[in-house]
Amino acid sequence: MLTASVSLSKQLLKRAPLLSSIHGVEKMVERWANTKPYNPGPLYLWKKGIRSFEYRRLRGRKIAKVELPDFNEARLDYKLTPDEIRAKLKEKGLVPPRQWRERPLLIMSTQHIADSYVPPEGDGKATFLSKDGAVQSMQKLTKKGKSFMSLRKIRSFLYDFDVPAFADEALDIYIKAHQAIADEDEDKLHEYVTEKCFPEMLFHCDNKTIRWNFIKSLEPPRVVHLRHEEIIEKTNIFAQVTVRLHTQQILAVYDRFGRLMHGSENVVKDVLEYVVFENNISSEYGKWRIHGKIIPEWMPSREPILKTYRKPVTPEEDVKTESTTKSAQASDEAKERRSSSSSIGGTSGIVRNNNAWFQRKIHLRPVLRGCHLITDEVLKQLTEITEFSVGLCHIQILHTSASLALNENWDPDVREDMEMFLSRLVPESTPFRHSCEGPDDMPAHIKACFLGSSLTIPITDGKLNLGTWQGIWLCEHRNRAGSRKVVVTINGALKNGA
């Protein structure tokens, strides 16, 4: 087949040439074997050096401009300074390459207490000679095995580690850490506590003044528990030592207004604590720091913090003012009924006319932060509502950090869930500018805007016409709020048809 095609091409080449007969075009030989016809354009343009316009653009597209690399320039680029490299890349419109670097991971402490020590019940009260003290001593002997293994591991890194000497060192670290809290020196506190213990020790210490003083040790500090564990690698070892501290201390906590919240500066208290100290013994720069405190289950609950409030005005004062003016109003009652103009009475009682009006200021007891049901408390101080057959009761709270709402009156979980949702909706961690009274200041104003400050409830046959499962809520949005004042205004028709 190949030989046949070659012979056919040779025969075509031997044929007589075909001459173009187009007017104005140079006569030229066109071969039809392995060639393509070429139109050079008009003759006068060809003589002027202008080739065919028809195919000029197509011929231009066949040409590709190749930029050959300049190896000399690449060699000189190694000698450029960083500023010259940046300018050269900016000139070419290129983004400078970024070297991939992994972020260094530094583990300075663990996030838990390994094999937590369980203090014996009654420790600090039972002596060694008593029955309870002897039982405690026997239990400690049975748990010494792991502590001895951990002690060997610690001494393999810290060859001069001495248990009695470390107990005294631990007491010194304990004193310096608590003194740093009292001095509000967070930089110094980082030197004596781990990253896990730091937020735990400063929890709820904002806007408070702490007075702390160490008096003496009732018993010498004693190491009762040693443990070690490996983190990620076998060569990264953390050791934890639990020290028993039985001391006398003075502690007093004051709020931002200088009012005493907890403890006293004149009362010395005995304190028994089991403090855990941790050290990255595999690190050359590791040091012993406070890691946590063990609180046993049998330990009695701590004294609650004293919350100070401004003394509220009791409702009894309103009752006294009502009794003094009740007789005077009884004589004027008939005149006021016939009067054509309606008048609004104050907190002294009911003013009767075509419409009856009543208004009173109610003082609600201080409550904790959250949603509280106050329907019974309001009605207890609002006995005059029974004299109205039909009307409206308007309740207005006189504060910007608390609100009123109508909601569930049976299941207390609804109120707890509502408080949880509001706290998530407006978190205290948001960097508000208005925070002069604490982190809960501005969130309280926002929550009050959401829920509202007033309620209007219909009155039917001397009662609030509420639904079966409806109740009046006081939504307290501050952590330490005082008594709240509410103004109740009633307008309606009396049962006696006045």
Domains delineated in the chain: 136-294 (3.10.450.240), 355-426+438-494 (2.60.120.460)
Q: Beta 237-254 vs 260-279: how paired, if at all?
A: antiparallel
Give CA–CA dist 408/469, Å, rounded: 6
Residue 6's pLDDT is what?
Answer: 46
Successive 10-residue mean pLDDT values, the chain, 498 residues = 48 46 44 51 71 68 81 84 89 83 81 83 57 61 78 90 92 94 91 92 88 92 90 89 93 87 87 92 90 83 66 58 54 49 42 74 89 91 89 94 92 88 88 83 91 93 90 91 91 78
Q: What is the pLDDT of residue 471?
A: 93
Q: List residues bridging with 287 in a β-sheet.
A: none
% the chain with pLDDT above 90: 31
- Burial code (b: 16+ CB inside 10 Å, e: under 16) for 5-24 equals eeeeeeeeeeeeeeeeeeee
Please compute Rg for the chain using Cα positions. 46
Contact assessment for residue 305 and residue 316, using Cβ atoms and an 8 Å cutoff: no
> In the prediction, which pLDDT does 341 show?
36
What six digits make up the tokens of 260? 């005493």
Of 42, 19, 38, nearest to 29 by C-alpha is 19
The reported pLDDT for the residue numbered 165 is 92
Average pLDDT of the chain is: 79
CA-wise closest residue to 490 among 354, 393, 408: 393
Task: For residue 292, count CB atoms less than 10 angstroms from its CB and return exposed for 0-12, middle for 13-18, buried for 19 or more.
Answer: buried
Alpha helix positions (H), 339-440: 375-380, 412-425
Residue 156: how many other CB atoms lie within 10 Å: 13
Instruction: Please indicate, yes or no, whether the overall pTM of this predicted structure exceeds 0.75.
Output: no
Q: Write down the pLDDT at residue 373.
A: 92
CA 404/CA 422 separation, integer angstroms: 14
pLDDT digits (tens, 9 = 90+) for 300-334: 777 666 666 666 666 655 555 555 555 555 555 54
Write down the pLDDT at residue 28. 45
Q: Are the C-beta atoms of 462 and 449 separated by less than 8 Å? A: no
- CA torsion, points 311, 316, 318, 323, in degrees to nearest 10? -160
What are the tokens at 174?
């304990």
pLDDT for 263 equals 85
How many other C-beta atoms are found inside a 10 Å radius of the C-beta of residue 403? 24
Close Cβ partners of 409 (under 8 Å, ≥ 6 residues apart): 373, 375, 469, 470, 471
Q: How far apart are alpha carbons 362 and 377 in whole angstroms?
A: 9
Q: What stretches of 426-464 show up as alpha helix (H) in DSSP?
A: 441-451
State how beta strands 209-217 and 222-230 pair.
unpaired
What pLDDT is recorded for position 317?
54
**Tell me, what's the pLDDT at 103?**
78
Cα of 39 vs its chain's centroid, Å: 81
pLDDT for position 345: 40
The answer to whether 218 and 269 have CB atoms below 8 angstroms apart is: no
Rounded Cα gap, residues 45 and 48, in angstroms: 5
Q: What is the DSSP string of 238-289?
A: EEEEEEEEEEEEEEEEE-TTS-EEEEEEEEEEEEEEEEEEEE-TTSTT---E
pLDDT at 27: 43
